[in-house]
Each structure stands twice: as C-alpha cells, then as structure tokens.
Amino acid sequence: MIRYRKEVDRIAPYVPGKLIDAVKKEYGITDVVKLASNENPLGMGSAAADAIKAHMDHVHLYPDGSCAVLREKLAWNLGVASDWIIVGNGSDEILKMIAEVYLTEADAVIIAESTFSQYRFAADLMGAETRFVPLIDYRHDLEGMARQIDSKTKIVFICNPNNPTGTIVSHAELEQFLNQVPEHVLVVVDEAYYEYVTSQLYPQAVKLMEYYPNMMITRTFSKVYGLAGLRIGYGIANPEIIKALERVKEPFNVNQFAQAAACASLDDQEHLRKSIEVNEQGKEYLYQQFELLKLKAIPTETNFILVDLQRDGKQVSQQLLTKGVIVRPTDSFALPNCIRVTIGTMEQNRRFIQALGEVLYADRY
C-alpha cells in the first residue's frame, strides 16, 4: 500500500448536506425540500442564466485564468484596485490557498469552536495546529481568541456572520481585535453571507483593510447570488498577499460559465433585492413559528437560522428526512441540541414548520 502523508490521516472527509435525489430514493418521497446548505431558494437570476447560455460556444477554449473582467468589476464595486482581488473555485478554494501559502506544521491557527468546517480542514491539510475558542452566547469570543495568540499563531479565521449561528462581530469589536493582533498573524474574515446582513453594526471590513495589512476578506457567489453549483468566490487583500496566493493557484481554477455568471449577477440588482426580500420575509415567518413551537431561535444576519431544540438535533434531522425535509444537524459544530435550517421560499418554510411540528409533537398529531 502506498503511504500517504500523516496530515491526511487527521482529515475527516467533509460531510455535505444530503442530496435531494438521494433522499427521494431512500425514503420514496417525490417532493423533497432541501434547507441544509444555505443556498438561494430562488436560484440564480435570469441575467446569470443568459450569460451561461451565451458561453456555450466557447467551451473548447480555456477560461481566463486571471478572471480579469470579474476582478475589474469587483474592484470597481469595492473601491479597491483589481490587484487586491483573487477569484477562486468557491471561497473554499481561497481558504485552501491561504493555508497552502502560510501554514506549516510549526504553525497554529485560531478559530471559534462552533464555526465553518473548512478553516480546520485547511489547517489540518498543512499539518498546522488548530486552537478552538468556544463561542460566548453564540458569538465569537474575540477577547478569548486574542488571548490564544502566541509566536506559533499564523492565522485567525473569523466567520462573520458566523456559520452556523448567524451572529456577527461588530465593526468596533473587529477593530479592537485587530489592534491586539501582531503583524505576523493574518486575520481572515469570511464574509460568505455579507449581502444578507442588515445590522448597522456590521464591519466595513474593506475599509479596515487600509489600516490593517495583515487582514483579508473572503466572499462568495454561492449564497445570495445563487451560483453554488458553479463554484466561484473571491478574496480581497493587499497585493502582497494576493501575489502570494496567486503562486499556488491552479492556472485555470475558475471555469468560464462561473466567471460570466458572476459578472452578470453583479449587475442584476433586481435579483439581489428580491433574494434579500424573500429571505427577510422567511426569517420573520420562521421566528414567529419557532416562538409558537416554544423553540429558541438565534437571531440571524444570514439566510439560515440556528434553532435550539433542547433535544438531540441529529435525531430530529433524521426524522425530518422521513418527511422529505433536509436540514443540517449541528453536532459537528459542537451544538448537538440544535439544527441549522436555511430560510427557503414561503412554501418551503411552511413545509419545514409543518414537518418539525409533527416530529416534535408526534403525540399531538
């Protein structure tokens, strides 16, 4: 047998949300609702769909490896130069590139205990140590994270808003944290759900980057833009960091459909507006229903809600599957009594609530 690197041994394979077709087959249900991966229930906008169709004839050509047009567009929107931007095959790929560039087994990263899994994956891949800092009241404990920083620390990942809790750190909190971070530590702020945030306290992270050269931001087209299946996200950082990341980037990492659809999506303000509106309506409905069901929902700044069921969330998720509703159990996030549900269309939200009521109060139905 060929021996693989010892680091690989430590990596637990990613467990994605269950696939709709798999659930249909397993449970013999024709109408399955997936609210497990924080996708946009409206799908992509029509401008993105048109852009994809327009690229059908170019499939035999390699895509632009530098994503020049998209980077220009993003740079214009963000008020930075285009050499501050790198585009990836999903923001997952950017996280991996960051690890490949900066981490060795002599380094440590600091993350929240209950947060997105790919920061730990990136650290594990490079053999780096991961230090976990428990959330306080479902929010990042930035003071606790700052206390963990030492000479070994290379990266701090802050998921803002946080997956799976939907909570944010504020501009003031982030700034105060950055003031405590030494220059040798990179602070990565993951803003995958940026567009959904409504809080006035949310950081203007791009502005902060002007003062903190050891900070970078990642964002994605997978969530509000509805392009998860195409895989496209981006990183924003000063050119020194971007140049380093480009060294490990695959030559043609982002396919041309993804680039074209992302460009078109940025111009499609109507789809963005509609997606956010549907999310806000769904959020209010779900808050009300959770209250009626006497469940504690954590107020969210995203397109998903963490709900404390005060019982085994994995078991409830399993029972929901039998009713054709896929949600995310959060035991892997160290929150075994919760589930995370994506806010869907009103029809999907109603279906979920109906199923949840049946599961939780089986004796009354």
Q: In the chain, where do the E strands start and end?
A: 33-34, 85-88, 108-112, 129-133, 153-159, 186-190, 215-220, 233-236, 296-297, 304-308, 325-326, 328-329, 338-342
- Site for ligand PLP, residues 76 to 135, rule: CB under 6 A: 90-92, 116
**x-or-dash string of contact with ligand PLP, 21-60, rule CB under 6 A:** -----------------x----------------------
Output the smallest distance, CB 174 to ligand PLP, in A: 16
- The CA distance from 91 to 158, in Å, is 14
- Site for ligand PLP, residues 341 to 360, rule: CB under 6 A: none
> How is residue 231 annotated by DSSP?
-
- The CA distance from 130 to 123, in Å, is 7
Under rule CB under 6 A, how many of the chain's residues touch ligand PLP? 13
In the bound state, the residue with its beta carbon closest to ligand PLP is 90
Tell me if residue 189 falls in helix, strand or coil: strand
Does 260 contact ligand PLP by CB under 6 A?
A: no
Output the smallest distance, CB 85 to ligand PLP, in A: 14
Q: By C-beta, is 339 or 360 nearer to ligand PLP? A: 339
- The CA distance from 119 to 95, in Å, is 7
- The CA distance from 271 to 60, in Å, is 30
- The CA distance from 53 to 331, in Å, is 41
Which pair of tokens denotes residue 251?
A: 């030559």
- The CA distance from 316 to 359, in Å, is 7
Q: By C-beta, is 159 or 339 nearer to ligand PLP? A: 159
Q: Of 82, 153, 163, 253, which lies in the binding site for ligand PLP, with binding defined by CB under 6 A?
A: 163
Q: By C-beta, is 89 or 289 nearer to ligand PLP? A: 89
- Site for ligand PLP, residues 174 to 233, rule: CB under 6 A: 190, 192, 220, 222, 228, 233
Query: Which residues of this protein are in contact with ligand PLP, per CB under 6 A?
Result: 38, 90-92, 116, 159, 163, 190, 192, 220, 222, 228, 233
